[in-house]
């Protein structure tokens, strides 16, 4: 009885007897003294014996209460789509070899500075798919600029198909310079952004990273990191910044040691990417690209375990976003999940 009373109190159900409720069979409406919360637990039909409404069985009342409690708990942890601008979706490549899903959510931050970009095209008969996440800081201008221009610049590079790594590196640096030029007239802004890009040219995968967004793959049941966060406390990054003579400014102002934008720190905070090149072969199942809104509260292994339990990349991207939010991530949360449906084994650049 005590358990029933506490559940009724939680759900706002009054502890009235069945005599205080008008039976639906009598055709009377519940009056002011008998609000709807008082008759939730009663059947809406008259009994055969006396025309009174009969209470639900104890088991059905508890089942209803449990369902309502679970729904309320889910509503507290699920990102509120309408109020937050939670964006999600997915698609399949033209050749059917990969599919992808994406999810982007403002989360607990007052503004949304994350951006993402997905592009699928054919260049000289070669299928090309590009995926990118951009985590802005100090404003949204840099991330927005990367979304609009980075991949557009990359596919126009004259060496894109011949020397993709060179094209990626030069495009990152040029796009950074172009962005700084575009905001040079506004001395009061110093927007910056990370950039994490996965470029799939045929069966070659290139993952380029600037900043602390992260790429992780699932291959043959194993978790494979495909990027390393650019942090000021990373040994090689710290030496590079110390050589530039500005360690204290980077430590005090930025959480990452490389970024687009950030004009005031450009002499030591570069947009030069680290690039990993892999061959897509049998066993490669998933690739996850995500901003640190996920990685702040989730290990690589946790993310892979979650997506393996989902039905496809779109559901996986949504799940990663929901779980990061429920684990009290305080940043914007954006991720792209790519699923590989077949590979072409080769003898070069094994994993």
3-state secondary structure of 224: strand
- The CATH label, of 3.40.1350.10, 3.60.15.10, 3.60.20.40, 3.60.40.10, for the domain at 85-340 is 3.60.40.10
Q: Is residue 14 predicted with pLDDT exceeding 50?
A: no
Q: Is residue 345 predicted with pLDDT exceeding 70?
A: no
Distances (CA, A) of 249 to 213, 246, 288: 21, 6, 32
Quote the pTM value: 0.74
Q: What are the tens digits of pLDDT across the range 40-93?
A: 333 333 333 344 444 445 566 666 666 666 555 544 444 444 345 689 999 999
Eight-state DSSP code of residue 122 = E
pLDDT above 90 as % of the chain: 59
Q: pLDDT higher for 35 or 151?
A: 151
Please tell me the least confidently modeled range out of 6-10, 85-89, 174-178.
6-10
- pLDDT number for residue 78: 45
- pLDDT number for residue 326: 95
Place 336 in a pLDDT band, splitting at 50, 70 and 90. Answer: very high
- pLDDT number for residue 273: 97
Structure tokens at 294: 């996920």
Q: Is residue 348 predicted with pLDDT exceeding 70?
A: no
Say if CB 53 and CB 18 are below 8 A apart.
yes
The percent helix, strand, coil of the chain (3-state, each to 5) is 35, 25, 40
- pLDDT number for residue 157: 97
Say if CB 259 and CB 194 are below 8 A apart.
yes
Q: What are the tens digits of pLDDT across the range 202-221?
A: 999 999 999 999 999 999 99
- pLDDT number for residue 297: 97
Q: Mean of the pLDDT values across residues 289-312?
A: 96
Write down the mean pLDDT value for the chain: 79
- pLDDT number for residue 189: 80
Please tell me the least confidently modeled range out of 20-29, 213-222, 259-268, 288-297.
20-29
Q: Is residue 349 predicted with pLDDT exceeding 50?
A: no
- pLDDT number for residue 184: 83
pLDDT above 70 as % of the chain: 70
- 270: nearest Cα among 199, 206, 194, 207: 194
- pLDDT number for residue 193: 97
Which residues have a Cβ under 8 Å from the Cβ of 274 and sit 6 or more positions away?
Answer: 208, 209, 210, 227, 228, 230
Note the residue count of the chain: 351
Q: Mean of the pLDDT values across residues 178-182?
A: 94
Say if CB 118 and CB 93 are below 8 A apart.
no
Q: pLDDT higher for 4 or 266?
A: 266
Q: Is residue 164 predicted with pLDDT exceeding 50?
A: yes
Listed by start position, the domains of the chain span 2-77, 85-340
Which residues have a Cβ under 8 Å from the Cβ of 256 and sit 6 or more positions away?
Answer: 194, 211, 212, 229, 230, 231, 232, 269
**Sheet containing 284-290, strands listed edge to edge, beginning at the edge strand earlier in sequence:** 87-92, 98-105, 333-340, 284-290, 214-219, 222-225
Q: Mean of the pLDDT values across residues 111-133?
A: 95
Q: pLDDT higher for 47 or 193?
A: 193
- pLDDT number for residue 62: 63
Task: Please state, in angstroms and rounded to a whole number, the distance separating the CA atoms of residues 207 and 198.
Answer: 4
Q: pLDDT higher for 74 or 174?
A: 174
Give me the sign of the Cα torsion angle 171, 177, 178, 179.
positive
């Amino acid at each position: 009885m005590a358990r029933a009373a506490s559940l009724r109190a939680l759900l706002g159900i009054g502890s009235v007897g069945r005599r205080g409720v008008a039976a639906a069979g009598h055709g009377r409406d519940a009056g002011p003294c008998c609000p709807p919360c008082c008759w939730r637990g009663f059947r809406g039909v008259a009994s055969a014996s006396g025309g009174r409404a009969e209470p639900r069985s104890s088991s059905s009342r508890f089942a209803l209460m449990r369902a309502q409690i679970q729904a309320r708990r889910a509503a507290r942890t699920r990102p509120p789509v309408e109020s937050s601008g939670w964006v999600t979706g997915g698609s399949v490549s033209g050749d059917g070899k990969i599919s992808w899903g994406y999810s982007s959510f403002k989360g607990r931050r007052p503004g949304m500075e994350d951006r993402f970009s997905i592009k699928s095209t054919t260049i000289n008969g070669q299928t090309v798919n590009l995926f990118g996440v951009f985590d802005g800081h100090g404003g949204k201008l840099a991330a927005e600029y990367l979304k609009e221009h980075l991949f557009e610049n990359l596919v126009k590079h004259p060496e894109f198909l011949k020397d993709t790594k060179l094209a990626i590196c030069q495009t990152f640096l040029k796009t950074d310079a172009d962005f700084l030029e575009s905001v040079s007239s506004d001395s009061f802004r110093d927007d910056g952004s990370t950039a994490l890009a996965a470029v799939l040219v045929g069966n070659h995968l290139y993952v380029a990273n600037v900043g602390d967004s992260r790429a992780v793959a699932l291959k043959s049941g194993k978790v494979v990191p495909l990027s390393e966060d650019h942090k000021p406390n990373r040994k090689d990054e710290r030496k590079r910044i110390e050589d530039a003579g500005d360690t204290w400014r980077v430590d005090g102002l930025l959480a990452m040691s490389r970024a687009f934008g950030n004009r005031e720190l450009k002499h030591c905070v570069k947009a030069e990417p680290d690039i990993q090149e892999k061959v897509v072969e049998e066993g490669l199942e998933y690739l996850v690209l995500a901003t640190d809104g996920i990685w702040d509260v989730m290990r690589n292994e946790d993310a892979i375990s979650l997506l393996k339990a989902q039905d496809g990349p779109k559901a996986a991207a949504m799940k990663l976003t929901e779980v990061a939010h429920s684990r009290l991530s305080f940043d914007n949360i954006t991720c792209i999940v790519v699923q590989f449906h077949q590979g072409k084994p080769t003898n070069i650049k094994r994993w």
